[in-house]
């Protein structure tokens, strides 16, 4: 019986951590239409996050999305940081030959004063502008550009096609953590 409860607790924690599941790269090369759809998604990601976060009170923004997890505000700031970092990794992959891009200590970044003192609204604005710029860049790429790669210290070699998929998944993943908390809490 304890084993069943232990597995149930692990499954519940996994669902809280990964409400849309873990990232899995597509095994097929995206078509031009699929790439256009991805760009359209990127153009809308910030709006979905804003719709979830903007109505929350200061107290709700300081609520962890799961036990031992970041607060909603930390997640929003994390999305801004990782968006900037992802965009720069992408541009390096686009302009350099398989550059090595280091990983970073996101757990320590989340402990910095800008995560606790800066309002979530500034990161929401940053994400909106960054995603507009990223979408504009993606519109200009050729199919061959998406085959370029970079090598991530934490994730290994990645094509730019996969980087776009991961960028979208990452935003949806964290937005789903927030919206799941909102539903569970009845906000």
Which CATH number characterizes residue 65's domain?
A: 1.20.120.450
Q: Is the pLDDT of residue 5 over 80?
A: no
Residues recorded for the chain:
187
C-alpha span between 128 and 44 (Å, rounded)? 9
Structural domain boundaries, residue 58: 31-185
Instruction: Cite the beta strand spans of the chain per DSSP E.
Output: 100-101, 149-152, 156-159
Predicted pLDDT of residue 3: 53
* 112 domain-assigned: yes
Mean pLDDT along residues 52-58: 98
Distance of CA 173 to the CA centre of its chain: 6
Mean of all residue pLDDT scores within the chain: 95
* 96 domain-assigned: yes
* 83 domain-assigned: yes
Mean pLDDT along residues 157-174: 98
Sheet with 100-101: list strands edge to edge.
100-101, 149-152, 156-159
Structural contact between residues 169 and 22, judged by C-beta atoms closer than 8 angstroms: no
Q: How many domains does the chain divide into?
A: 1
Which pTM does this prediction carry?
Answer: 0.93
* 25 domain-assigned: no
* 111 domain-assigned: yes
């Amino acid at each position: 019986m304890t084993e069943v409860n232990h597995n149930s607790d692990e499954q519940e924690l996994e669902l809280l951590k990964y409400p849309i599941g873990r990232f899995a790269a597509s095994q097929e090369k995206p078509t031009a239409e699929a790439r256009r759809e991805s760009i359209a998604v990127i153009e809308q990601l910030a709006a979905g996050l804003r719709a979830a976060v903007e109505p929350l009170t200061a107290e709700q923004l300081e609520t962890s999305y799961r036990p031992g997890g970041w607060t909603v505000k930390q997640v929003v700031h994390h999305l801004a940081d990782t968006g900037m970092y992802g965009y720069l990794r992408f541009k390096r992959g686009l302009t350099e030959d398989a550059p090595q891009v280091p990983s970073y200590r996101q757990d320590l970044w989340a402990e910095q004063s800008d995560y606790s003192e800066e309002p979530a609204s500034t990161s929401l604005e940053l994400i909106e502008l960054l995603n507009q710029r990223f979408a504009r860049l993606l519109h200009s790429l050729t199919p061959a550009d998406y085959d370029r790669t970079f090598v991530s210290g934490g994730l290994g070699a990645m094509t730019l096609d996969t980087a776009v998929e991961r960028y979208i998944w990452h935003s949806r993943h964290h937005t789903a953590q927030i919206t799941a908390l909102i539903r569970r809490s009845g906000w």
